[in-house]
Amino acid sequence: MSQKVRLGVIGVGNMGTAHIQNSVEGKMPEIEITCVADIDEKKFENAKKRLPDVVCFNSATELINSGLCDAVIIATPHYFHPPIAIEALKAGLHVMSEKPAGVYTKQVNELIDFAKTQDKTYAIMFNQRTNCVYRKVRELVKSGKYGEIKRVNWIITDWFRTQQYYNSGGWRATWSGEGGGVMLNQCPHQLDLWQWICGMPTKVRAFCNVGKWHDIEVEDDVTIYVEYPNGATGTFITTTGDYPGTNRLEITLDKAKIICEDKITIYELEKSVGEVIKTSEVAFDAIKLEKKEVETDGLNEQHVGVMNAFAAHILRGEPLVAEGYEGINGLTISNAAFLSSWLDKTVELPIDEDLYYDLLQEKIKNSKFVKVVNEQVVEDMSSTY
């Protein structure tokens, strides 16, 4: 291995181009982008403007077998993330996958099981984990200082999209093209952060409203209710139809309330809520509290931070921002939410992966995108990300 990781970019759409630009600007000093792959040759011109010496391939397979890279980043539509990752790992390459890990947990678990048999790195692009605000919230919750979580609510509705956005690509907001709507496109990072900070739920009840605000076949308005092992509850509300939107995470613990809305505010309680409920002799008691603005380290390295950690892990064994197998958690929540909404009932984790897969296939069969293009084009579609 040289002092730099030779990287191949699979999919030269928005995210693939962003990684190329970060490399050009010297933000990833231990990474050298040597090759790119896309089925749309028009994308090559854009890549070569930034990296004149980059080698271009018409397929992921050609790039993977070229011998020109040590690692790949997969920036294709969602369905292709697992199969390309497996192919690259089989060829002895390290893998970074853009979010989400895939569309359905059955496929992603197959990838995870395979990745465990290989000696190469499998990582996922959860760049929001580098955000100082969410890192600090996680630190506060995991410290145990404030007791167990009682309730968590996340309203994340600042994803406003017009109909033109959805019309810009025939694959957008279709079951066959994306595998979902706001939960699979906009919210994978927040679903990951939700479980990263608060842990995984045991039960999910959800209402996924299809085309409530737009002419699309997938969900654009979602409310999820969850229950945790300790009896705590949570809600997650998201949409692409609100303006102005809100991004507010509120976590209630036994001895504090944390509010995250651009900044972190914490209300520290002098006594435990549980203790006061049980022992107070006052009917309408109040607990003495202190309101504080929480300081962070200010670092928010995003995609660059994830990629630099990826290179450092390959070269020196340093920690990743997110192991690839962690991608199953947020995806499990979204799959559970879909399943709950489709069946109109509460579902328990782990979900019935085979049932989810079968129901998803039915939706794919009736997808507008399948009616517009033939199956071969669907299989080959790669970089219109």
Q: What angle do helix axes 327-343 and 105-115 make, rounded to 10 degrees?
A: 160
Q: Reduce the DSSP state of residue 261 to 3 states and report it.
A: strand
Query: Residue 209's beta-bridge partner residues?
Result: 221
pLDDT for 369 equals 84
Q: Are 138 and 122 part of one and the same domain? A: no
**Predicted pLDDT of residue 368:** 86
**Same structural domain for residues 294 and 311?**
no
What is the C-alpha separation between 135 and 128, in angstroms, rounded? 9
- Structurally, how many domains does the chain consist of? 2
pTM of the model: 0.95
CATH of the domain at 147: 3.30.360.10
Instruction: State the pLDDT at residue 222.
Output: 98
For residue range 315-346, list pLDDT tens digits in order.
Answer: 999 999 999 999 999 999 999 999 999 999 99
Q: For the chain, which residues score pLDDT lower than 50? A: 1, 372-385
Please report where in the chains the tokens 């993330």 appear, as a residue.
Answer: 81
CA distances from 116 to 24, 111, 139, 323 (A): 33, 9, 28, 11
Output the pLDDT for position 171. Answer: 84
Whether residue 73 contacts residue 303, with contact meaning beta carbons closer than 8 Å, is answered with no
CATH number at residue 95: 3.40.50.720
Q: Are residues 348 and 313 in the same domain?
A: no
Q: How far apart are CA 11 and CA 14, in angstroms?
A: 9
Hey, which bits of the chain come out as E strands? Answer: 5-10, 31-37, 55-57, 71-74, 94-97, 122-124, 149-156, 203-210, 219-227, 233-239, 247-253, 256-261, 263-269, 289-294, 347-348
Domain that holds residue 21: 5-128+302-323
Please report whether residue 382 resides in a domain: no
The answer to whether residue 37 sits within a structural domain is yes
Q: What is the mean pLDDT of the chain?
A: 95
